[in-house]
Amino acid sequence: MSHRHDRLALLPEQVTLPPGHPWRRLGPIGAAVGAVGIVASAALGTSDPERFFFSWLVSFLFFWSLALGAFYFVLIHWAMQGGWGVVVRRIAEHVMATIPVLALLFVPVLFGMERLYPWAVPGAAAKDHLLHWKEPFLNVPFFVGRAAIYFACWSVLAWVWTRGSLSLDATGSRATAARLKRFSGPGVIVLALTQTFAAFDWIMSLEPHWYSTIFGVYVFAGSLVSGVALIALLAVLLERAGPLSDVFGAEHRHDLGKLLFAFTVFWAYIAFCQFFLIWYANIPEETVWYKVRLEGSWKAVSVLLVLGHFVVPFFYFMGRTVKRKATALAAGAVWMLLMHFLDIRWLVLPALHGAGAGFSVLDATTFLAIGGCFAGVVGWRMRRCALVPLRDPRLPESLSYESA
Amino acid sequence: MPPLGHDLPEGPTFGVLAEFATPGELFRACERVRDAGYTLWDAHTPFPVHGLDRAMGMKRSVLPWIVLAMGLTGAAAGFALQTWVHSLGYPLVISGKPFFSWPAYVPVTFELGVLFGALGAVFGMLALNQLPMHYHPLFHSARFEKVTDDSFFVSIEVRDPRFDATATRRLLEDLGARHVEMVKS
Amino acid sequence: MASIQDKALYDPVDGRPTLILGAPDFHAVTEAVARPIEQKTPAGWWFFFLPSVALLGLLGVAVAWLFWEGIGIWGLNVPVGWAWDITNFVFWVGIGHAGTLISAILFLFRQKWRTSINRAAEAMTIFAVMCALIFPGIHVGRVWVAYWMFPLPNQMGMWPNFRSPLLWDVFAVSIYGTVSVLFWYVGLIPDLATFRDRAKTRLRRLAYGIFAMGWRGSNRHWQHYEVAYLILAGLATPLVLSVHSIVSMDFAVSQLPGWHTTIFPPYFVAGAIFSGFAMVVTLMVICRHAFRMEHIITIRHFDYMAKIMLVTGTMVGYAYAIEFFIAWYSGNPYELFAFQNRAFGPYAWAYWTMITCNVVSPQIFWFERARKSIPLLFLLSIVINIGMWFERFVIIVSSLHRDFLPSAWSYFRPTVWDVSCLLGSFGLFFTMFCLFVRFVPMVATAEVKAILPQADPHHEVRPERAGTAAGTAPAGEGAY
């Protein structure tokens, strides 16, 4: 039986972007778009710095949650020794590899702390007894230090799993695969704790009087939905573009669709739990957060989220045919990404007093800025290596997979 | 789909029953029987064999639609009940909530939707399978007792338009059946 | 047997592990599962059954005395209006969830190893829900008007309060019980047909035959059956999540510090699965040995169960940590006091028991040898259930006994009747479980057959492999 381990299930040429392929330009184009976005945002930001920082934070959090969602996909896939997902795992690895660049893109947030976070304003703690109480945690040095720790953890973990996967391409070493599996469990725990506290720091403390123990889980649920949606979208696009057409098919689409369905329901469950318990107990220090989001222009957004992020996708992804067809799945994935972006805005922007739910040009420029850099990294990595983990031990199983 | 109610032939013979040793043999036999154009036939196995539905040329089950309809009915009924009770039946201000406190109606709505859906699944399945049907001609066959243990069978009814006493028997024997018999009604 | 066990423990790199050992054929599986039911009652069965029935009797006495004399026979007082009664309720509902997880959620994840244990786990769920439903039923005080909980038209024009989580519980847990019974029964139909066809006595043939509904293995039936099974699994999964979420809402919708916290629903669900799997482990260790089914319920199954306990235990630990952090972060002095009181107040002994049993002890399951050691698994499964009982006790009583008004502060002590009700509920549970293993196939025979390598119609029998564990890569290729 040992000969089976030496034989490659696929030839590298089948699953690499050939020279001259349009997707090879994703890297440079992304970087260019990013650069333009950064310049435009900076220019517009000088006249409305508050909006600049909020828009930047929204866009940053959107792409950050995509990266973490992909990260969970990869780690949980290793931990559960999943078979079917091997074919798309490399795509997820490319997405999670954007984390070090996201660390750099986080820096503007640090410069905008005083405008974003009420507790970061000098002298705020002296005037507000709650901010005074939270000062040991909510203070600038500790906040910055924590952010450094989060990004350090994520960068190290991402490096281990992406490098490990690439080395498997070359060697097919069972020891490497075993190591990647063994540490994936602790990896998920580190990821969960750091993401929870990042959510507390970066999002929850925008309104520092408010708190919710499920908040970390809520952000986690959103990143799962959006991460899988992005992976599904990229996989379908790459299948259409050629490189993945031999390996990615209806069976894999079906399972990605099932995951999207399940994670959408999970998100809705967590979102409802948080809303419902706060609504029911009706304690003002908690309800204030929802009050803003259920009045004025934000009310429409809330309704849209319920319908668009839950009700419509629930029925859409329920059927068998939709999950299997490439265009239908891709359309659903794009929709979920849009809804997730709306979710992030709904979490963050109400803290900007008097802003309302309307869009501003800065929303677009900051999205291009961060999204461009994100796409640049993903595109650059796609050029460099095979789009499928070539010697992964479970690749043959993934290739011949049949969804129930 | 045959109408509900026991739909069994009236003559002295029910059909032919062929026994196979392995799921693989049964699978290939079913493909051939399907391709030969038989319609009133069935395969019998101790457990569901993967892919056999397609090998027999069967259409997809309508059960999911039954369940969806039942589930939505249950949810709607639950929501309507609660709305009526608290807004019309006996409106009371409880813990400061408005009469139409829809978030509080979600748990029972959801549970009733699941209950009705589950009832739809179980009783829908039994109805589509025309079960319980404690009597069936195939139980006359002694060898058929092994169907729930480790044997695999194909049965073709006499009422099938392509049924021919000798040709059908020979077809099944050629397909590798280890035992073929005629079953009485 | 031992060498086959060892060989099968290695996970071949590109294959899948052998789940059923000794390469049985279909008939051998039927025989193995039928043996406990068709043989004479073994002495060991009476050893478990009789004490269980005795405890069940104790439950009957305790409940009868409760109805006669009133809730005052328990240790409840003001402000501790709920203690062992609701702790036991949540405890039993939680245990039930593992059965549905194994049946439904593992089915959706296509985890074939579930087929060895899902029948027994589903039965465990049904019996656990029966035990659970007792407690809200008997704790109401005026049991004779318990029908007021249901929306039955009446001359007073009164209706139940649908805005109350206590009523959602009524619906949730009873629907959970109903759907569990339906799911369990649907799974049983093909196996009952097996026993009908094997029955040697007319009584057995009649009994199994009636409930087998005339099942004859028709593939046209299997098609609808498989769809129904998948749908039931798809319905049972959100049902499980919702039921324990609703149970958690009994506490979370209140305004009490320590109770009102948004993470309760997923935290309770994770805890339920945690304790439920522990109970499955306890039961399976005994059953597989008693009925000589070590080749069907293998070490590998325990390995997977231990991993699930590790995952859910970690989620519970995460929830503890976040609750503690937010209690401080919130700046709410009552919330902070509630948590300090748990750790250092009069119930600190219960709190630290809970932490030791739930957070510390499962960490040993990071080690493969621990996951595959039967004595350790058995011991730890009991420790975890003790811990999870204490978790509910700590949550309920620690928040209640320190009321907002210090003059109402009190301390709860259980009475002999509290203890009797808890022990008696175990009596009900084990009585039902003993009856189950005696008369009903405790392994889902048809499902186990379906995962054997030779069940695949495209499986080729390779003659040179006839002696090894069928269908997998040979052992010794290295673990991965």
A144-172 pLDDT, tens per residue?
999 999 999 999 999 999 999 999 888 88
| Coil/strand/helix, residue C239 | helix
Task: Mark yes or no for CB contact B104/A272 under 8 Å.
Answer: no
Task: Mark yes or no for CB contact B95/A282 under 8 Å.
Answer: yes
Task: Mark yes or no for CB contact A275/B103 under 8 Å.
Answer: yes
Asked if residue C209 belongs to a domain, the reply is yes
A-C contacts (CB, under 8 Å) = 94
CB of C383 closer than 8 Å to CB of C274: no
Question: Higher-confidence residue: B5 or C38?
Answer: C38
CB of C326 closer than 8 Å to CB of C387: no
What CA–CA distances, in Å, run from B27 to A363, B54, B155, C226? 59, 10, 14, 18
What are chain B's partners, defined as 3 or more CB pairs within 8 angstroms?
Answer: A, C
pLDDT of residue A170: 84
pLDDT of residue A5: 43
CB neighbour list of residue C267: distance below 8 Å, 6 or more residues apart: C248, C315, C316, C319
CB of C190 closer than 8 Å to CB of B47: yes
Rounded CA separation C417/A48 (Å): 69
Query: Which residues in chain B are closer than 8 Å to A265, comparing Cβ atoms?
Result: none
pLDDT of residue C152: 92
CB neighbour list of residue A198: distance below 8 Å, 6 or more residues apart: A146, A147, A150
Q: Is the Cβ of C255 closer than 8 Å to some Cβ of chain A?
A: yes
CATH number at C240 reads 1.20.1630.10
Rounded CA separation A274/C6 (Å): 48
B80-123 pLDDT, tens per residue?
999 999 999 999 999 889 999 999 999 999 999 999 999 999 99
φ/ψ of residue C43, rounded to 5: -60, -35
Rounded CA separation B42/C185 (Å): 24
Query: Which residues in chain C are closer than 8 Å to A178, comparing Cβ atoms?
Result: 479-480
Query: Which residues in chain A are closer than 8 Å to C249, comparing Cβ atoms?
Result: 276-277, 280
Q: Is the Cβ of A46 closer than 8 Å to some Cβ of chain C?
A: no
Answer yes or no: is pLDDT of A6 > 60: no
Asked if residue C129 belongs to a domain, the reply is yes
Asked if residue C30 belongs to a domain, the reply is yes
What mean pLDDT comes out for the span A130-151? 96
B17-63 pLDDT, tens per residue?
999 999 999 999 999 999 988 888 999 999 999 889 999 999 999 99
The first and second tokens of residue A392, run together, are 């992964």
Task: Mark yes or no for CB contact C213/B134 under 8 Å.
Answer: yes
Query: Which residues in chain A are closer than 8 Å to B96, comparing Cβ atoms?
Result: 282
| Coil/strand/helix, residue B15 | strand
pLDDT of residue C461: 56
C81-137 pLDDT, tens per residue?
999 999 999 999 999 998 888 889 888 888 888 888 899 999 999 999 999 999 999
Asked if residue C475 belongs to a domain, the reply is no
What are chain A's partners, defined as 3 or more CB pairs within 8 angstroms?
Answer: B, C
Min CA distance, B72 vs chain A (Å)?
12
Whether the complex's predicted ipTM is more than 0.85 is answered with: yes
How far is the first Cα of chain C from the last one, in angstroms, to the nearest whole number?
Answer: 23
CB of C458 closer than 8 Å to CB of B24: yes
Residue of A nearest to B103 (CA): A276
Of the partner residues C314, C329, C473, the one whose CB lies closest to the CB of residue A134: C329
Task: Mark yes or no for CB contact A269/C241 under 8 Å.
Answer: yes
Residue of C nearest to A266 (CA): C238
Task: Mark yes or no for CB contact B111/C239 under 8 Å.
Answer: yes
Range of the domain at C82: 20-470
Task: Mark yes or no for CB contact B104/A280 under 8 Å.
Answer: yes
Task: Mark yes or no for CB contact A213/C480 under 8 Å.
Answer: no
Residue of A nearest to C304 (CA): A80
**Residue percentage of chain B with pLDDT more than 90:** 58
CB atoms near residue A122 (< 10 Å): 8
pLDDT of residue A390: 80
CB of A99 closer than 8 Å to CB of A151: yes
A332-366 pLDDT, tens per residue?
999 999 999 999 999 999 999 877 888 999 999 99
Query: Which residues in chain A are closer than 8 Å to B104, comparing Cβ atoms?
Result: 280
pTM of the model: 0.91
pLDDT of residue C59: 97
Task: Mark yes or no for CB contact A276/B106 under 8 Å.
Answer: yes
Q: Is the Cβ of B104 closer than 8 Å to some Cβ of chain A?
A: yes
> Which DSSP string do the residues of A235-284 spell out, in sequence order?
HHHHHHHSTTTTT--HHHHHHHHHHHHHHHHHHHHHHHHHHHHHHHH--H
The residue type at A402: E
pLDDT of residue A403: 65
Q: Is the Cβ of C329 closer than 8 Å to some Cβ of chain A?
A: yes
pLDDT of residue C165: 95
The residue type at A121: V
Task: Mark yes or no for CB contact A217/C266 under 8 Å.
Answer: yes
Task: Mark yes or no for CB contact C214/B134 under 8 Å.
Answer: yes
Report, in angstroms and rounded to the nearest whole number, the Rg of chain A calculated over CA atoms: 22
Task: Mark yes or no for CB contact C197/B149 under 8 Å.
Answer: yes
**Residue percentage of chain A with pLDDT more than 70:** 97
Detail the DSSP E strand segments found in chain B: 13-20, 41-44, 152-157, 179-184
User: What is the tally of structural domains in chain C?
Assistant: 1
Q: In chain C, which stretches have pLDDT less than 50?
A: 1-15, 462-480
Asked if residue C6 belongs to a domain, the reply is no
Angle in degrees, CA C149, C150, C152, rounded to 5:
130
pLDDT of residue C292: 85
The single residue listed with the structure tokens 């009940």 is B81
CA A383 to chain centre: 22
